[in-house]
Chain A
Amino acid sequence: MATMRNSLLSRVAVQSMQWAVRVWPESSRQWGMAVLGEMGEIAEPGAALSWAAGGMLLFLRAMLAQFLQWMKLPVGLGFSGGALPSGNNGPQFPKHSRLATAVVLLAAVTLLFLPTGREAARTVEASWRGFIPSQRDRQDLEELAAKAEKEQDAGTLGFVALTHPDADRATHFADEAVKLDPSLMWIYASRYSYCCNVNMAPTAARVKKLKSYDPDNAMVYLVNASVEGEPLVEKASKATGSAWKPLSEALAKNDEWMKDMEAAFHAPKYDNYFHRHQELVRETWKKAPGLSPGAVVIGLWSHSIPNGLQMQTYAELRVNQALKAGAAGNVKDAESILAEVTDLGKRMMASEAITFEQMVGLGLTKRGLEGYEKLYRANAQTKKADEIEAELREVETTTGARIHAYIDWREGIARGLRWRAVLLQAAAVLALLLAIGIGLSLLLLESSAAIGRKSRGWSRRAACKLVDYGPAAFLVTSLTFLWSFRPIAAFFEQYRLGELKSPEVLGMFWQLFVLGAASPALYFFDPYHQWLLATIGLAAIAVFVVVRGLLRLKGAAGRL
């Protein structure tokens, strides 16, 4: 015995069994005591430990049996509660067992934890934030970048550079990506802007590299021109409002801006790199499908496009120069200047440019043609002027048709998705409210069972109803949530599989905007709706107080 007492193993064995017996379920505690009773007879420490291990197994079985018994009781009823109370005197309990409640809740939660469920939840959650990347999105992107840096995965680093909400981090990842794969240099042109502090304005060194990377592309010169021109536009706007003349004078005085614009208007091709961007996003999203759709798509949405105002300003300057040259009798020079303007416009329209750029392209073509018409009319070349006038009308018709087609396309997406988006948002809100309501009800019923307080108040009745019907409602809501998300999920999947063309990819944005427009968060942040909700809330409280007062008055009168 002395050996046993002195042995650490034996002490651990005895103490663990003593502890188990203390918490052993009442109904089978005698068997735990029986195992413990034998331990005084076991001299060998190893044997004592093995005996105690068997006892612990027995303890776990007893606990499991107790747990299963407990699960068969309604929520809020413990073993000490005995049989379910009958009549109207005892406290109220839910009708269904804990097991039934747990099974239905588990089914609903499982649905929401399926890959589609998680994607739906993250998309809807992003729509509530207005698709501004969350802290979790940042963290996901940082983790993705860390992994990509380790694996020397330039593509993924490029994706992070184009998606990360922090401009400094984005620039860092862009440099890393370009260092690993110089063919990703286009990243610098796809996320630049003077404004908002969220985009990276490429430094002179990066612009130089960009220009030598793709010297025939107008886009690389337009990037630098935009960066150069934005502060001038801002300054001119502050001083003189939106007047065009001071603005164009300010820009025309900047040699760097003029040089870049000239190079852009002379460049033989126009590629905005959107296709490469969306391919990079697709590849990365396929590799990391857990990324938030909101964060991924918003990266694409913030793809840079040239500054249309600056391009039109330069075009206007050139057209005026052409008309002056024409007035001075240099018709050939004037034609050559006007050709710069119309040609870039046509190149923009012919490229895989997005709708806004195509509109800018049409605007440039139109402005160039107007210049041609004025030039020919001023020089009495009526036939040429008439031909240009016909071409101009055609451009105007095309512009109108494209604008209408674009609006119809957008409206089509919105019409097809609007009610689903409303249903999706409603299901999300209801699921959230139900989850909170069920959670609080379970807490109320179980805690009142634990402290032995079994009230019969309205809160307990409401909690019982919620525990009885809430899980089934939660399951139905989860199913509705997933079903409503199906078209968007299918769209995301098609995109990841590369089955969408560039214009269709843009449709994905509109789907998300339709979803965002149905977001309940809009109602909470809008002062009108805040006022409305507060009024409804106060009115409800007032009605509740008055009705309760009347009922109490009636009750008191009845007792008298």
Chain B
Amino acid sequence: MGIRLRVSRQTLAVLDALLDHPTQWHHGYALSQQTELASGTLYPILMRLEKARWLETKWEDAPVPGRPPRHFYRLSGNGREWAREELRAAQTSKFWKPAHGKV
């Protein structure tokens, strides 16, 4: 396993959202709406996940002219495994409950 994280309820919510369509790229605002986390909470979590190599990031290939490019995120291969493991453990210990009864 890679770098383990201290996983908070908010981090679990982000992991859950990223696992919704694990191979697709997600963008920040959609994740924020899905998890109901403010940008000031969401981005530090994304930063930590990226630093721990759980997350892959990329910039929008063809940004809309006149607008800054968007940043996209998805879990890495190992990241997905570790995320599932964390979510399962959190559910077992009743630390966290998925929003829509998934996992």
- Closest CB-CB distance, A62 to chain B, in whole Å? 10
- A107 beta carbon closer than 8 Å to chain B: no
Interface residues of B in 30-56 (CB under 8 A from A): 32, 38-44, 46-47
Q: Which of B41, B47, B60, B64 contacts A54 (CB 8 A)?
A: B41
Residues of A within 8 A of B44 (CB): 58, 61
Which of B4-12, B67-75, B81-89 touches A?
Answer: B67-75
- A31 beta carbon closer than 8 Å to chain B: yes
Residues of B within 8 A of A57 (CB): 39-40
- Asked whether, in the complex, the Cβ of A40 is within 8 Å of the Cβ of B67, the reply is yes
| In the complex with contacts A28-B47, A30-B71, A38-B27 CB distance below 8 A | yes
Residues of A within 8 A of B25 (CB): none
Task: Give Cα A28 to B50, complex, Å.
Answer: 12
Residues of B within 8 A of A53 (CB): 38-40
Task: Give Cα A54 to B40, complex, Å.
Answer: 4
- A521 beta carbon closer than 8 Å to chain B: no
- Asked whether, in the complex, the Cβ of B40 is within 8 Å of the Cβ of A36, the reply is no
- Closest CB-CB distance, A213 to chain B, in whole Å? 71
Binary per-residue interface labels of chain A (397-437) against chain B in the complex, 1 for a CB within 8 Å, 0 otherwise? 00000000000000000000000000000000000000000
Q: Which of A28, A33, A61 contacts B71 (CB 8 A)?
A: A33
- A41 beta carbon closer than 8 Å to chain B: yes
- Asked whether, in the complex, the Cβ of B64 is within 8 Å of the Cβ of A58, the reply is no
Residues of B within 8 A of A55 (CB): 39-40, 43
Residues of A within 8 A of B43 (CB): 31, 34-35, 54-55, 58
Residue of B40, B44, B64 with most chain A CB atoms under a 10 A cut-off: B40
Task: Give Cα A54 to B41, complex, Å.
Answer: 7
Residues of B within 8 A of A58 (CB): 39-40, 43-44
- A51 beta carbon closer than 8 Å to chain B: yes
| In the complex with contacts A42-B29, A61-B44, A35-B64 CB distance below 8 A | no
Residues of B within 8 A of A34 (CB): 28, 43, 70-71
| In the complex with contacts A31-B47, A41-B29, A61-B44, A54-B39 CB distance below 8 A | yes
A-B contact pairs, 15 of them (CB 8 A): A31-B43, A31-B47, A34-B43, A37-B60, A37-B69, A38-B71, A40-B67, A40-B68, A50-B39, A53-B39, A53-B40, A54-B38, A54-B40, A54-B43, A58-B40
